[in-house]
Amino acid sequence: MCGTRVVIFEQTDNTANMPRTSPPTERVVATIALLAERPDAALTLAELTRRLGVNKSTGHAILTSLAAAGWVLRDPTSKAYRLGPAMVALGRQAAASFPALDFARPALVELGREFAATCAALGVDDDAVTVLDQVADPRAAPHAFRVGATFPLRPPLGAAVVAWASDAVRDDWLGHVPPDTRAHYADALVATHDRGFAVEIAATPVARVRELAGMLGDDSSARAALDRLADELATHEEFLAIDLDVDREYAVNVVNAPVFDHTGHVTLVLSLTGFAHALRGSDVQEAGDALVAATTRITDALSPTRSLLH
């Protein structure tokens, strides 16, 4: 993603009813997001301003303020910028505000190592999930997850959340599926609930949605594009597995399982992705069972007196 150009979208007349945004604030956010894409590399002022689409005086003013706060560091020799130490403290404080991550982190490490994959923790919002943390095993294949990336809860994505949601939420989710494939997706939600985890197959198109989410950020135009692409992908039945044939091989993109809060709502999703090769159905079942065991332990830790609803 080193060639990503971050564009600041301006509000047009047809977005008059949307909440007003602050272009200066968006530029600061875009600067942090750009540096976070490659935390192991530094970017010069020229590189940053070119990719942000701002002039050098604006970029320099932003970076000077961020450096004063300790959010970025400027190399005295190369004059290049990278994330600063203050961001470490902010990240820890953000994690502390989401206690489920404390319980999830050991599971991410264990599951990633066991299945030679990447294990991620995704926070759940009303209409999206956001990657909060992830651990990649060295043997894992490249994947499109990025901490901070947000994915819409639109078919074919989000089954691990929607399968345990209310009838109204499920009906709304299925309402975005074309009539020709709606029955398949309804059955997939039932199968997901019954076995405790969702299986996304046909890796390339679904990975494209995740890749775009990581590239485009959280502005309204990007979200609209992602929603349209998700709707297009939902015309295909093969994205969500219903039955798992133990002897058949599957090109698995993601295996997801939910964590529940004390009210019984899905608060976190653990995802296994980045499988280096196709998996037999028995292997998919093994990975899903391990995920469910981990999410059950986390759920119990968050609400030890509550009986699991799934």
**What mean pLDDT do residues 69-79 have?**
88
pLDDT number for residue 221: 55
Structure tokens at 129: 């999930």
**What is the spatial distance between Cα 283 and Cα 295, in angstroms, rounded to a whole number?**
18
- Phi and psi at residue 69, to the nearest 5°: -85, -5
What's the average model confidence in pLDDT over 213-222? 52
Band of pLDDT at residue 145, cut at 50, 70 and 90: confident
Answer whether residue 227 shows pLDDT above 90. Answer: no
Q: What is the pLDDT of residues 24-38, one digit of tens each?
A: 888 888 888 888 877
Rounded to 10 degrees, the C-alpha dihedral 187/192/194/195 comes to 140
Indicate the domain borders of the chain: 13-90, 98-302
In the predicted model, is pLDDT for residue 211 greater than 60? Answer: no
Rounded mean pLDDT, 17-26: 70
Highest mean pLDDT among 49-53, 69-73, 114-118, 247-251: 114-118
pTM of the predicted model as reported, rounded to 2 decimal places: 0.63
Q: Rg (Cα) of the chain, in Å, rounded?
A: 20
Domain 98-302 sits in CATH at 3.30.450.40
Half-sphere exposure of 21 (CA within 13 A, CB side): 17
> CB atoms < 10 A from the CB of 113, how many?
14
Mean pLDDT of the chain: 81
DSSP calls for 143-156: ----TT-EEE--TT
pLDDT at 91 over 70: no
Residue, of 49 and 91, whose pLDDT is higher:
49
Calculate mean pLDDT across residues 55-67.
Answer: 91
Name the fold adopted by 13-90. Answer: Arc Repressor Mutant, subunit A (1.10.10)
277/205 Cα distance (integer angstroms): 17
Q: What is the mean pLDDT of residues 81-100?
A: 71
Tokens of 172: 């709304």
